[in-house]
Chains A and B, each alone.
Chain A
């Protein structure tokens, strides 16, 4: 990356970067120091009986889900971005839908459909007397498939953005050099979409690594099971924090390696972003495209969503009441506020990186987004502990002024909850915004400056319009992610701010999964809102 001529106040950007990172690094700072006080009895048990297998299991999961989301996400994005086939406009937005369904709900619903007692196998037994030949969904390939279906939209959304903003010029240059469209995909489009695709892949992998809800439904022993065992069975939160720190380290190494491999390549588009001229698919090719997109949509959304709709219908009486409305309202308000906050900070962070692009600053920005790699429950503690500490200090200082019996100042405030979401989801917002930032050329900035645009004016006139697509995607992804979030909401929500996810938790904690279907349906429906807005925006 060519060094930018230092604008006024380079240090100002550095300080801003540092401050923003500190905000999200604080929870990590609570979690990581635990590595210095290991409990030998628990560790030797973990190493002897669990960790080797769990590492292996998590590695399979990463490999399988990684390949799966790339395969499905990139191919679908390419298909809807550069070809035309019947139903393309529908698939274009419908393929985002699985994002709105929490992975744990997807897992439970798939288990309900395809396990031994589910409708498919029951029907097979009733018709042919045997279903034992059906491969079990409670297996490594089963878990990989379910997580792939849950997480491919991250790659799909971002890759689609990349292909759409590449413009046709690059592909046309390829064509003039004698590349077919398929060759153009491999030689031109794919390399130019790298920040987006890798960003989506990293999000999917971080979700996979930090996931506990879904793997536990399949009783798949991933690395997180050791974290939860250490905490909830051995009651050693320190061991859980140590294990979580290892997760952060693994993800950090992956991110840095990817960054290194990406090197100094630039991803700017040449010339104006003329929209892609879509190539119509005919006959067999069109049928194949429709078949593929339909199959993914069926497995990832139609079937699992149909299942939870059916369950909700059965528990309608118990769950459909005024409370559901207030849970939904809380969910939507929190998700919207958090999405705005996260995207604003992601934008600042990305812009500060651009203004002060040193290696240290890059690292800092990467570290600031690591909260996504920590299992939610552990991160929740990392957030709650410093807040409670600060409250205790403040309560001690101002005890004479405060009314007697005051037990909280910051604790349980909306502000803390929103900052907690920021620590968790900054990665999601940052990935999309930062990738879009790569599309803006230095010469565009130079030209804008020659027009006399500086500072805020430069950002609003040049960057914001060009980042629009990336920002919208970021808003959408953070919105639905916050909607699905459970452990942090549980621990830091203000009193009375129960959300749909909290309702799902209170029901599933007593094993009432089917009753939890209605709030799950509500989450999906609320998640539809931004999906539709985004697709409107694109048209």
Chain B
């Protein structure tokens, strides 16, 4: 009996040192290669538990101090901001992360950091539109685009974050006017996802639309001849809207150091390419170059407003879109 206890105890200390648990909402196929590489390099085994952000947060809440999770990994800063609001995260103490990740892509309170950048910009049908006709998200509300605009549903957090950022910069009145203008310009009912919307632009159902760049990358890789162009929005203003996928330490992690080391590694030169390239996203670490296919879209100016605004303004943004009739 005593021996069994001793064996169990040694087993558990062994697993304490060698294993981290990550709760994540990013597709497993996108993070698995990284975790495998990390294990090869350090011997630390990573258990990845995937679910939607909402249920993951409820899970952390219900488990409390008995949660096995060490890291929460999500897409969209709005979700991380919420997790931090709910008291589910714990600040990291790491100069490495602060050095690797630009300030606007991480939490001012250091409860989470971005790990890859997702740019949301304008796409157009190259047979119908010249890039010179395009300028900004706000311009797509102009009546000259009437019947020519395609959008994804406002239920997707990417659009909620985009509008939240516009709220933070342009204020309520101007933003509401823009959203109403978008709705008036719609060529067809809003789409369930970015890929479907991009395909509709290519097929000529509409001329322009807003999407995340990696959907474009994926689509063009599959069918390179689509008449679809990318345009970096708001370059003459504050820059193109960017969001992140990112992570933070869970409040009750019992392996703070090991978990912090994993976060540091994920933001390092070595992992950044792997993290971003697998989904054609942009690295957060400015020292790291994006994948060649991604780099071919040309350099662009990012909007450097802190991405945490996506969270703090989200409710307001969603309510505004409801009022404007943007479904």
Residues of A within 8 Å of B28, CB to CB, are: 506
Residues of A within 8 Å of B193, CB to CB, are: 511, 513
Interface size of A by CB at 8 A reads: 55
Taking A45-B319, A228-B155, A405-B16 as contacts, is the C-beta distance between A411 and B63 under 8 angstroms? yes
Residues of A within 8 Å of B205, CB to CB, are: 116-117
The reply to whether B318 and A229 form a contact with Cβ atoms under 8 Å apart is: yes
Q: Which of B5-13, B126-134, B234-242, B293-301 contacts A (4 or more CB under 8 A)?
A: B5-13
Residues of B within 8 Å of A122, CB to CB, are: 203
State the majority secondary structure of interface residues on B: helix
The reply to whether A404 and B55 form a contact with Cβ atoms under 8 Å apart is: no
Q: Does A19 contact B (CB under 8 A)?
A: no
Chain A proximity of B7: nearest CB distance (Å):
9
Interface size for chain B: under 10, 10 to 19, 20 to 34, or 35 or more residues? Answer: 35 or more
**Candidates A49, A111, A216, A234; contact of B315 at CB < 8 Å:** A234
Taking A229-B318, A495-B47, A506-B29 as contacts, is the C-beta distance between A115 and B54 under 8 angstroms? no
Residues of A within 8 Å of B202, CB to CB, are: 117
Q: Does A392 contact B (CB under 8 A)?
A: yes
Q: Which of A58-66, A353-361, A377-385 contacts B (4 or more CB under 8 A)?
A: A377-385
The reply to whether A510 and B319 form a contact with Cβ atoms under 8 Å apart is: no
Chain A proximity of B177: nearest CB distance (Å):
18
In the docked arrangement, what's the CA distance between A444 and B54, Å?
Answer: 53
One digit per residue, 1 when the CB lies within 8 angstroms of any chain A CB and 0 when it does not, for chain B 42-62 equals: 000001011111110011001
The reply to whether A490 and B68 form a contact with Cβ atoms under 8 Å apart is: no
Q: Does B107 contact A (CB under 8 A)?
A: no
The reply to whether A377 and B62 form a contact with Cβ atoms under 8 Å apart is: no
Taking A377-B52, A385-B62 as contacts, is the C-beta distance between A403 and B29 under 8 angstroms? no
Taking A116-B188, A407-B66 as contacts, is the C-beta distance between A511 and B29 under 8 angstroms? no
Q: Does B15 contact A (CB under 8 A)?
A: yes
Question: From B189, which residue of chain A is reached at the shortest CB distance?
Answer: A138
Residues of B within 8 Å of A408, CB to CB, are: 66, 68
**Candidates A111, A219, A411, A490; contact of B55 at CB < 8 Å:** A490
One digit per residue, 1 when the CB lies within 8 angstroms of any chain A CB and 0 when it does not, for chain B 134-157 equals: 000000000000000000010101
Q: Does A235 contact B (CB under 8 A)?
A: yes
Q: Does A232 contact B (CB under 8 A)?
A: yes
Residues of B within 8 Å of A219, CB to CB, are: 153, 155, 189-192, 327
In the docked arrangement, what's the CA distance between A19 and B313, Å?
Answer: 46
One digit per residue, 1 when the CB lies within 8 angstroms of any chain B CB and 0 when it does not, for chain A 205-238 equals: 0000000000011110100010011011111010
The reply to whether A385 and B58 form a contact with Cβ atoms under 8 Å apart is: yes
Q: Does A512 contact B (CB under 8 A)?
A: yes
Q: Does B215 contact A (CB under 8 A)?
A: yes
Q: Does A491 contact B (CB under 8 A)?
A: yes
Residues of A within 8 Å of B15, CB to CB, are: 405
The reply to whether B49 and A384 form a contact with Cβ atoms under 8 Å apart is: no
Chain A proximity of B186: nearest CB distance (Å):
12
The reply to whether A233 and B160 form a contact with Cβ atoms under 8 Å apart is: yes
Residues of B within 8 Å of A49, CB to CB, are: 319, 322-323
Q: Does B67 contact A (CB under 8 A)?
A: yes
One digit per residue, 1 when the CB lies within 8 angstroms of any chain B CB and 0 when it does not, for chain A 228-263 equals: 110111110100000000000000000000000000
In the docked arrangement, what's the CA distance between A509 and B86, Å?
Answer: 23
Taking A237-B54, A377-B52 as contacts, is the C-beta distance between A388 and B195 under 8 angstroms? no
Taking A235-B82, A510-B279 as contacts, is the C-beta distance between A391 and B200 under 8 angstroms? no
The 4 A-B pairs at the shortest CB distance, nearest first, are namely: A388-B62, A510-B27, A407-B68, A403-B12
* B residues adjacent to A (C-beta < 8 A): 5, 8-9, 11-13, 15-16, 25-30, 47, 49-55, 58-59, 62-68, 82, 85-86, 153, 155, 157, 160, 188-196, 199-200, 202-203, 205, 215, 254, 279, 314-315, 318-319, 322-323, 327
List 16 other contacts, CB 8 Å, given A237-B58, A487-B52, A506-B28: A116-B200, A216-B155, A221-B327, A225-B155, A232-B157, A233-B157, A233-B315, A377-B54, A385-B58, A395-B66, A491-B55, A502-B50, A506-B29, A506-B50, A510-B27, A512-B27
